[in-house]
Amino acid sequence: MMLQEDFRKEAHFDLLLNDSSAMRLILIFTLFIIPLFSTGQSNLCKTDGKIDPARDSLKFHHFQSLLSYNLANPQIQNRSVQYFPVVIHVVSRQTTNPVSEAQVLNQLDVINADFSGNGENILKLLSEFVPLLGRGEMKFCLATVDPNGQATSGITFTHTDIPNIALQSGPEGRIAVFYDQLGGKTGWDPTRYINVWIGEYGDFLGSASFPGAAPFSEEIGIVIDPQYFGSIGEAGNSGVYGRGHTLTHEMGHFFGLKHIWGKGFDANCDDSDDVPDTPNAEGPYFGCPSGQRISCNSSDMYQNFMDLTDDRCLAAFTKGQVAYMQSAIETYYPGLAVDGECATYTDSYSDWYAQLIWSYDASSNTYVIYSDEILDQVRKVEVYGVDGRLAYTNYWDDQQTHLMNLSALASGIYFVRIAGDGNKYFVRTIVLY
């Protein structure tokens, strides 16, 4: 089965729960078949045997029971916010880390907004699907303490000489990016951290291990090609998948979600993603469709994060998908969530402004303002020219980053005004070249 050039290309373990409640795991792409990538053609989606994670295990039956309960009781799904520590392992052939702290914080802002139902495309969601919108009480935070109890930035950097390291394998089929001894980076304890590796991945965007299905515990986590991590840095030039929603999609897989149409890429109405409120679809969508699209006698939710449309199109998870993920978390990752917040909150506007970091991201023609703290109030960001004319306006809510795309403005001197509650505001001068 050949994927078209604009497909969201990925390699992952695809979970199937059939009508008899049997579970089988199919490896969609064989990572060891490296010669595939020297042909110059689109990637092949190749089934490579069956992996069975003990379908009769108590853990699997517990998952089924939890899922049935959560689906039947959606009103109590959102108990309290769960915080998940994330560590970003950058494995690169560059001699210095190509992924900035701003890029990481921006990516986490994107995925947190997506999971909460407040992503950048939410207002584009077709009206017929608005009642299905799921809001996951999940927040993803950079880890602040490493496995040895030491303070950490939550970002590691490993230099490697291996091209497309996420496609290379060693003894027993172990994938190189996951191991120090194979030229990659050994992850942190997967029962305490969500490991996300950033490494060259050929023509693929990303991959994720499914709950209980990783062939080795060291390979529990997510891999993203650097071109598709966040929406600034290298991702700023990556085109239709450069808005940071690839990690949202793969995190859905990490928490057990299948593609919204089911498995494989053949047109088929007999398959399912095993989530009752996602409409049955014949297959994936690509690009960014508009209006109602029909297949399998129902309207297709092509704006779902588990479809393969462009980043500018992806908008929502459903309530059923949120229940599915929560059930997987309780069953397979019971110790992963931690108490606390993703960042320090402050109500001091002056202190918050004083520690802002300002940078310019040439790849995306974007000014990036970010903070280690979150100000517990909405701010208005405005940019004025020297003639006093307003050139840019937007709002900054409870995210750590704010991106100002000023590429439409001419070179010159501008004034950035950030106003908080009341009459408090600060002005900073910037120069565009």
Q: Active-site positions?
A: 250
Give first-to-last CA distance, the chain, whole Å.
48
Cα gap 428→119, rounded to integer Å: 28
Cα gap 113→402, rounded to integer Å: 13
Identify the burial level of 154 via C-beta atoms within 10 angstroms of its C-beta, where 0-12 means exposed, 13-18 middle and 19 or more buried: buried
Cα 349 to its chain centre, rounded Å, is: 30
Cα gap 307→273, rounded to integer Å: 11
> Quick one: CA torsion of 295, 296, 300, 305, rounded to 10 degrees?
-120
Cα 360 to its chain centre, rounded Å, is: 23
DSSP state of 316: B
For 206, the token pair is: 């990303």
Which residues, in sequence order, are bridge partners of residue 82?
138
Cα gap 204→200, rounded to integer Å: 9
Cα gap 210→10, rounded to integer Å: 13
Cα gap 261→405, rounded to integer Å: 35
- For 205, the 3-state DSSP assignment is coil
